[in-house]
Structure 1
Amino acid sequence: MSPPITSRATVLQPSSAQATCPRPPITHLLYLHGFRSSPQSFKARRMAAWLAAQRPDVEWFCPQLAPSPRAAMRDVFERVAHWPRETTGVVGSSLGGFYAMVVAERLGPACRAVLLNPAVHPARDLAGYVGELEAWHSDERFEFRAEDVEALRELEPADLSARERYFAVIAKGDEVLDWREMTARVAGCRVKLLDGGDHALSDFDDHLPDVLAFLGLEQTGSKG
């Protein structure tokens, strides 16, 4: 395994006065993986392991997302429909970051969202992937259709509300997405902008404490 790509970071703070208002810690946490990825991604497994060891009281949901954006969002909203808005958080990586914005906007301004190198124009970026594809973490093949691209276009939030409840980790070294577009999309949110890094955030362990702090999570279980 290659060593993590580490980098310096600049933290951009939201200007809203509400950013300083304390929020209750998260009790329910949703993780959304990226395109062709799965709950077996490094970041998802790392967060799941931390919660199991330190905060088993937090309800954790990291589904295998359907290739169809409409089906993926339907399944997610069915699961979180009765979660308490004030203590619900969502973390999303790449396309999952886009979905995290969709979820947070739908659930309302109390829902906190962490965006890890989020896709901000997925309909445009994934239009060239229409056809049969293979998943990253298995030999499973699936069909990505033109109607799925259109669904992504329809899902895209017009704007982000209550931007102080968003935290984005963005790598200038992202080899897949343009960090400038990502940064522009989350202007006014809390942003950790990495001078280097990569799309996968191979140095995610370095950023996990910031993610957990933003969600109000502290260690209460056994260490390990």
Structure 2
Amino acid sequence: MSSMSSILYLHGFASSPASWKVRELSNALKARGQGYRLICPALSTVPNEAIAQAEAIIESRVGPLTLIGSSLGGYYATWLAEKHLLRAALINPAVAAPASLEKYLGPQTNLHTGAPFEFTEAHLAQLRALEAPKITPGRYFLMVETGDEVLDYRKAVQRYEGCKQAVFEGGDHSFTRFPEMVPQLLEFCGL
């Protein structure tokens, strides 16, 4: 890939650019003099607005762009990768986000900022409309841990069958092996 390669990181539900994985990735890129290649917006809690934020970035980029999506961000990344013909690395992705997030209807709090927000039926409907009906296996690099206490990793392994996959025993939803996977992740992103 060209020297203009960039990464658009899409964080998970109630998360933010302050998540430990974003900080880890940012530090790895800064150590290589490439910190400027990482874009991680604070995504709106409203799915359609989050997608609009991501698409504005995608449409403004010059050069190759790879998506990285964690949890709900993985669900968004899949839809965006198919629509915009991009590659995406998925970390413990929410495969069926509407079903996974139904139990979170009502008042919520951002894990990093403490900002309150309301998760509504309208948001679930927006998520349903963002489900990619099919995927192109060559676009994806799936990373999951079997100990994910939030999402069933087997659903992701099945959904992304035929894709490059790294499945690790143990761990949790935060994807504990992220630091050791950063070199492979950057290689996948063309950096």
Provide the TM-score with structure 1 as the length reference: 0.81
User: Which AA in structure 2 matches 1:152?
Assistant: L
Residues 177 and 84 of structure 1, relative CA distance in 2, 3 Å threshold: same
Deviations 1:118-147 (A, max 9, x none): 000010111121111111112210111110
Say which SS state the counterpart of residue 60 (structure 2) adopts: coil
SS at match of 1:167: strand
Alignment of 1:114-193 (within 5 A): 114-161=89-136, 163-193=137-167
Q: In structure 2, how many angstroms separate the alpha carbons of the residues matched to 1:177 and 1:26?
A: 34
Q: Taking structure 1 as reference, are residues 26 and 126 closer, same or farther at Cα in structure 2, changes over 3 Å only?
A: farther
1:26–1:216: 8 Å Cα contact kept in structure 2?
Answer: no
Q: CA deviation at 1:216?
A: 2.3
Q: Percent identity?
A: 37
| Preserved contact between residue 38 and residue 137 of structure 1 (Cα < 8 Å) | yes
- Do 1:26 and 1:58's aligned partners in 2 also have CA atoms closer than 8 Å? no
The aligned residue for residue 60 of structure 1 is 38
Question: Cα deviations across residues 28-62 of structure 1 (Å, max 9, x unaligned)?
Answer: 21001100111000101111122222142753210
For the residue of structure 2 that corresponds to 1:100, the secondary structure is helix
Distance 2:101 2:26 in 1: 28
- Higher Rg: 1
CA–CA distance in structure 1, aligned partners of residues 79 and 5 of structure 2: 20
1:188-199 matches, within 5 Å, as: 188-199=162-173
| Alignment partner of 1:28 is 2:6 | yes
* CA gap 1:210/1:25 in 2 versus in 1, 3 angstroms: farther
> Which structure 2 residues correspond to residues 1-150 of structure 1 after superposition, within 5 A?
27-56=5-34, 59-84=37-62, 87-108=64-85, 111-150=86-125
Q: Which residue of 1 aligns with 2:190?
A: 216
Moved over 6 A (4+): none
What is the Cα deviation at residue 80 of structure 1?
1.7
Q: Retained in 2: the 8 A contact 1:175–1:199? A: yes
Quote how far apart the aligned CAs of 1:84 are: 4.0
RMSD of the TM alignment (CA)?
1.6
* Preserved CA contact (<8 Å) 1:27 1:88: yes
Q: Secondary structure at the match of 2:143?
A: strand
Shift of 1:90: 0.7
CA distance in 2, matches of 1:99, 1:190: 18
Unaligned 5+ segments in structure 2 are none
Paired residues, number: 191
RCO comparison, higher one (Cα < 8 Å, 6+): 1
1:205 aligns with 2:179: yes
Equivalent residue letter for 2:13: F
What's the TM-score once normalised by structure 2's chain length? 0.94
